[in-house]
Each structure stands twice: as structure tokens, then as C-alpha cells.
Amino acid sequence: MKTTFLKIAFLSISVLTILSCSSDKEDAAQIIIDPPTQDDPLTTSNTINYMVDANASKETVALFYNLKRLAKTKTAIGQQDAFNSFYQDAAGDSDIKKNTGFDPAVLGSDFMFITDKNNNGQANNWYYQQEQKIITDTKAAYAKGIINTFCWHLREPFKEDSFYTADMSAEEKASAFKSILPGGSNNEWYKKKLDKVASVVSNLKGTNGELIPIIFRPLHEFDGSWFWWGANFCTADEYKKAYQFTVDYLKNTKGVHNILYAFSPDNSYTTENNYLSRYPGDKYVDIIGMDNYGDFNNQGQTGSDRANAKLKILSDYAKAKVKIAALTETGYRVTTTTPAITDWFSTLLYSALTKNDIQISYVMFWNNNADGYYVPNGSASNAADFKTYSLKAKSALVNSLPKMYEMPK
């Protein structure tokens, strides 16, 4: 299973706005370019034209704009379940905050338990309790100025026991994905799952009643075949139809207008054409992503350079199409039997995110647990390496984000 940066750059045509502050939830300097240039047509007034949802809430529009702007100078650092997944179960602050003094800039969550068949909406139900915890964490992150992103490990539509194909029969694997498409035997089932997602997202609200924006990356890592929506179990056209249906249903049928949509294969591609082979189209995607663990798994600088080349494909496409590029999942898991890699964060990952003039808006590490970690807390052996990485010029925790949900004045 698998899922940053503020330094004022010198630009020939720019209007510079500085938003200053230094608290755990506030902002730093930000560059604004207006009017549009040939290389960068995005402005505060035309942002909606480049987004999936023409009716997106103003906070969601601001998030798109600010993510795109942030990538010019920094990459936001995030972690899945950061407020609830701790190495050695050492609860309290996020492990990132234990190490650095600041929370992550991005919080990753999952709709998995929210849409689980066992979630009956009752206060004493474990799955419903997880739903409430995720909602509480999302609201708390938003209040701190953190970016929220959701994936969805959706269990297969027959028994709803697993999302892994290793747990499914050959017949189930062959028919599961096709069955959720429009006209398929499980399309109504899929719509009910989307109804639940829509209900939760539409009720995510800040203290002033405003909708809280999220990034949603459905059907991720589809180029592998470990999930039932993977490449071996649907054609490219079927995948595109499912992705398009998901977006259209949430946006048009359910009227959800606080989502940015992310497209995120695993790392199997090496060319733009390969990356786009299952791409549902620019009208359906806000964020051009990639999940990549393999290139960072004891591959040294060679692997880092491979990852950088793949990220450059994303970055170049995002620049050309006015999209946002992101490393939507990555990490190297350290356990008692798998030692940390020297300078993995400060050298290998950082160079992958910054070489060759690429613009990556955020990076997401997977969650920690009792037995291992992707992000070291303050007592782990590679704690200093992560802290060094977090302090580099092109890295951002929450303390060096601009106000992500407001358009700069």
C-alpha cells in the first residue's frame, strides 16, 4: 500500500506580495504574478478557468492558486494520518512536530473506513468513530492552515472484504471494476459509496460555515495490479470512464464543490505518453501526481535521479497545462530490522524533488505505526536527517505556508 517551499525568487515580471507571520498555522512570503505571462498564464482572476469545477468554492479556488504558486519555490511536506499514526504508539503531537516543532503542511486521510460496509452511523460503532476522528482531524488541519488530501482504499463490490486483488478470486478480479461502470451490476452500489463521500465532504465546514477544500485522488496506483481497479482488470477506456463518472457524479449530481481532483499512478511510467495512457483528460484533473516508493527503496542516487526524471514529466505537463504537480505518496519504511538510509531525506529525496527546475507542490509520506515509520519522530535514528530536510530552502512545513485558503490581495 502504499502517499516544501517558500523563498522569494527573482522574476522579471512580478508583483510581490508579502504575507508575514511565523506561528504554527500562519503564513510566509508569497509571489504573485499578474498580469499573465507566456510562461505562466495563471492569475488570481482566471484561476477557475484551469480547474475541474467551474463552481468551486472560493477557498477551493484559492487552494488551487496557492498550490500552483507554492510549487515555484517550495514543496509542502505531508504525512498520511499524521495526527493519529505514531511510531511506537507514542501519541500526542504528530511525529513530524515531535521532531521539528511544527506540524506537517499536508494531512493525508482515507475514505476507507468512512465508506466501509460495517459503518452503521452509530456512536458505539468503531468504523463510525473512525469517520468522526477523520472529520475532526480534517477540520483541525484546516484551522491550522494545513492542506487536506484524501485517498480511497475502496473494498471490492462483492463481499467488501478487501481492496487487494490477492484476496480475491479470479472471477471477482475479472469482473469487479467493470461492474461499477455505468450500466454495470454494481454501479448503484458505487453510487451509494459516492453518496457517502459526498455527504461527508459537503459537511466539512470551517468556523465561519465555509466549505473546507480537500484534494481527492480516487482509484490511485492503477498502473499496478495490486488493487482491483488496477491495469490488469480494466482497459484504459474503462479506467477513464470510471474516473470521469466519479468526478461528474460528485460535482454535477451531488453538487460537491470543495474538491480538487488528483490523478496518481504508481511509478511505472518513463514517458509522458505512458503517463497519460489512462489519463481521463484535463477537464477531470487538477493535480498531476505520482506515487513512488520503488525508486527510493535502497536505490541510492540512481533511484533518486530516476524519480526526478519522472517528476519532471509531471512538472513539465503541469506547467504546460496549468495543473499542479505532486509526489502524492512516497517513503522508506524504517523498522527494527530495516535500518534508515543515510541522508535519505536531506539528499536523496530532496534532490529528486528539486533537480532539473521542477515544480512539485507537495510530497506525502505514508503513515507511521507501532512497528515502523516513514517519518522519524524526535528520537529515531534518522531524526536529524529529516529535520535538516525540513529546514532546506525548498521545503515547507505548516509554519512556512502562505494562507492557502485565501487569494492574495
Q: How far apart are the first and last CA of the chain?
A: 41
Q: Which pLDDT score, from 0 to 100, does residue 25 have? A: 39
Q: Which pLDDT score, from 0 to 100, does residue 19 have? A: 35
pTM summary value: 0.91
Q: State the burial class of residue 207 (Cβ atoms within 10 Å of its Cβ: 0-12, 13-18, 19+).
A: exposed
Cα separation, 210 vs 343, in Å, equals 42
Q: CA nearest 187: which of 232, 237, 127, 249?
A: 249
- What does pLDDT average to over the chain? 92
Measured between alpha carbons, how far is residue 203 from residues 84, 199, 400 in Å? 22, 6, 28
Q: Which pLDDT score, from 0 to 100, does residue 278 have? A: 98
Q: Is 221 a catalytic residue?
A: yes
- Enter the CATH code of domain 15-400: 3.20.20.80
Q: CA nearest 181: which of 245, 224, 229?
A: 245
Q: β-pairing, 29-32 with 259-263?
A: unpaired
Catalytic residue among 59, 131, 172, 329: 329
Residue 309, pLDDT > 80, answer yes
Q: Is 171 a catalytic residue?
A: no
Which of 5-19, 375-389, 392-406 bottoms out in mean pLDDT, i.e. has the lowest? Answer: 5-19
Cα-Cα-Cα-Cα dihedral sign, residues 382, 361, 216, 313: negative
Q: Which pLDDT score, from 0 to 100, does residue 188 have? A: 98
Residue 274, pLDDT > 60, answer yes
pLDDT band at 409 (very low <50, low <70, confident <90, very high): confident
Q: Which pLDDT score, from 0 to 100, does residue 295 have? A: 98
What's the pLDDT tens digit per position in 203-262?
999 999 999 999 999 999 999 999 999 999 999 999 999 999 999 999 999 999 999 999
Cα separation, 200 vs 289, in Å, equals 24
What's the pLDDT tens digit per position in 67-103?
999 999 999 999 999 999 999 998 999 999 999 999 9
Enumerate residues 6+ apart whose C-beta is below 8 A from 64.
Answer: 47, 50, 51, 56, 260, 286, 324
Cα separation, 306 vs 226, in Å, equals 22
Catalytic residue among 59, 131, 172, 221: 221
Q: Which pLDDT score, from 0 to 100, does residue 36 have? A: 66
Q: Which pLDDT score, from 0 to 100, does residue 34 have? A: 54
Residue 314, pLDDT > 80, answer yes
Residue 335, pLDDT > 70, answer yes
Cα separation, 265 vs 10, in Å, equals 34
Higher pLDDT, 29 or 136: 136
The percent of residues above 70 in pLDDT, for the chain, comes to 90
Q: Is-contact 244 181, C-beta < 8 A?
A: no
